[in-house]
Chains A and B, each alone.
Chain A
Amino acid sequence: MTAYDKPLPKIDALTRPFWELARDHKLAVQVCQDCGDRHFPAGPVCPKCLSKDQAWEPVSGRGTLFSWVTYHRAYWNGFAKDLPYDVCLVELDEGPLFVSNLVGGADVAVGDRVEVVFEKITDEITLPKFKPAD
């Protein structure tokens, strides 16, 4: 098996829980324990109320296709063999926008329902991706 050669996430204290949950096939967003605001990407404080009391909570993994694009240029060599590849923008049912990849290859349209699937890429990292909802 060849080494994984695409960009890997930078894991730090802020993002570690997200990747640990993804390894367990759970998509999570940061939830403010004071005001309940749900946000992603993670921040050190709540963007609504500035509380530092933030936790990660799994979401439904369901959302709506906000938009998508198809790359015909590889900005990293690791993506060259995948060209053309799709990147989607999903509006999670819980609110935040999430960038990911579409899998399944079916024709899609803005507004389609999608759901998360998980793709293990290294022992440490599992990427959440999306497919058309059943």
Chain B
Amino acid sequence: MSDIGALKDKVAVVGVGNTRYGNFPETDDYGLGADAFRNAVADCGIDKNEIDGLLVCRIPYYARMGEILGISPRWTIPLPPHGRMSSMGIIEAVAALNAGLCKYVALIYANIGRSRRVNYGGDESPNIWDPWGYTSPGAAHAMMFQRHMALYGTTTRQLAEVSVAFRRHACLNPDAVMKQPITIDDHENARPIVLPLRLLDYCLINDGAVCMILTTKERARDLKKPPVMISGIGAREAYAEGSLSNFERDFWYPQLQEIAGEVYGMAGVGPSDVDAFMCYDNFAPTVLFSLEGLGFCPKGESGRFVEGGTLQVGGKLPTNTDGGHLSNSYMQGWALNVEAVRQLRGECGERQVPDCEVVQFVAATPCSRSIIYTRG
């Protein structure tokens, strides 16, 4: 197959599940992964022994996960614990299902970073730039945002709109970790971490797990809930400044522009058709860069675009309606893909986007990906 467009609407998400989110030292990655898997299996009503594909991310050992769940699939992929892996994994599962390598794939992600005191910097992630004190993914985003401010006049008060919108959504999401509303001034006065970024620009660090179950369009019809179709995918890496990790000198704009052409072309929709937007938000500036790269607003104008509640439910482009990584849960993209499915099913309660038909996920990272989901 030479044309990825042929993958349009071939594979559906049929089951989703998540654990509680928080601090759970009494369990581990496998325990949380098993809970999420149980919930996803119950969500779609599948016999778990039918699952013959297993993709795990941030799980120490795939075979132990399979042993715990009592499944012996014929297709397995383990992925490293990087946030960029969620949509990469989903796209790999789409390709495997379409190729007939397996019939039902369970994708399981677990994170125990809160209870195990993960720092995301320093000696945990040695880098050539350590002698100068340059470390942590947040610093790369701070570096990019500083430049964005200088080039385009973007302000931290505009950046605050991202955090404020996602916190409001978290307050509407029973699963979310953060429950206190915040204001733009709260964002401006938050503890500085790596300026120009402050605490409320940073993702949470919490424990939890997520599971998605995917199958082909034909098989999806026999399961409990209406399938959610994967209608568009787009992908582009940016490795030119790999050692700076989480950095792209032009805000991932070139890669996202390529992705926009692919994902919208394949799905047959454009940015104005997107009813809800799920945007990888390891740090608040990523959201601004994503909006520009995909063409929701012109380059350099994301600050003005988000002013006045654009990203809030009820606004022009409801974004990260579960609260995202900033306020719901640090599930490294996986929970946002689950939220996309729930929005299209109409399961989101107070945060439901009315008449939701098209939901787009994007992760602007050194491995940028976008997925467009539609109702089956």
Contact = CB atoms under 8 A, between A and B. Distances in A.
Interface stretch (B71-79, B124-132, B181-189, B252-260): B124-132
Interface string B41-85: 000000000000000000000000000000000000000000000
Interface string B98-129: 00000000000000000000010111001011
A106 interface: no
Contacts of B310: none
Interface string A31-74: 00000000001000000000000000000000000111111110
Interface residues of chain B: helix, strand, loop or mixed (majority): mixed
Given A41-B243, A67-B143, A67-B144, A72 B151 contact: no
Interface in B193-222: 193-197
B144 A73 contact: no
Contacts of A68: 143, 146
B152 to A, nearest CB: 11
A97 B128 CA distance: 13
B194 A70 contact: yes
A69 B195 contact: yes
Given A75-B135, A87-B134, A66 B193 contact: no
A75 B131 contact: no
B224 interface: no
Interface residues of B, number: 33
B1 interface: no
A69 B241 contact: no
A66 B241 CA distance: 13
Contacts of B225: none
A53 to B, nearest CB: 22
A6 B195 contact: no
A105 to B, nearest CB: 15
B192 interface: yes
Given A71-B133, A76-B135, 6 more contacts: A8-B131, A70-B194, A76-B123, A84-B192, A97-B244, A110-B147
6 nearest A-B pairs in the assembled complex, by CB-CB distance? A75-B122, A110-B150, A7-B130, A75-B121, A72-B192, A67-B147
6 contacts: A66-B147, A68-B143, A69-B196, A70-B192, A109-B150, A110-B150
